[in-house]
Amino acid sequence: MAGWDQLNKGDTVVLLTSDRRNPRFTGWVDEISEDGRYLWLIQDNGAGRRLFHRVEGYTTLLDSAG
């Protein structure tokens, strides 16, 4: 996915990272900044709401099963 500004509130996504301790985050999009640089994700499994920054290099996949 080219940019988070293409996502919609409620989309289920997988965020992949090179961090071996936390290689992936899954959940649904709660909010996206207008410029697509920031994303609030309601994480699966009760992990809470978390803010992600696009510049941190996440690979973003839209989860069609969600």
Contact 40, 29 (CB under 8 A): yes
Q: Kindly list the distances between the CA atom of residue 39 and the CA atoms of 2, 4, in Å, as whole numbers in the listed order.
A: 14, 7
User: What pLDDT, on a 0 to 100 scale, did the predictor assign at position 14?
Assistant: 95
Pairwise CA distance, residues 15 & 26, whole Å: 6
Which residue range(s) make up the domain with 35?
Answer: 4-62
User: What pLDDT, on a 0 to 100 scale, did the predictor assign at position 22?
Assistant: 78
Phi then psi for 17, rounded to 5 degrees? Answer: -140, 165
pLDDT tens figures, 17-45: 988 887 899 999 999 999 999 999 999 99
- Is 19 or 49 the better-scoring residue by pLDDT? 49
Q: How many structural domains compose the chain?
A: 1
The DSSP output letter for 21 is S
- The predicted model scores a pTM of 0.85
Q: What residues contact residue 20 under an 8 Å CB cut-off, 6+ apart?
A: none
CATH of residue 53's domain is 2.30.30
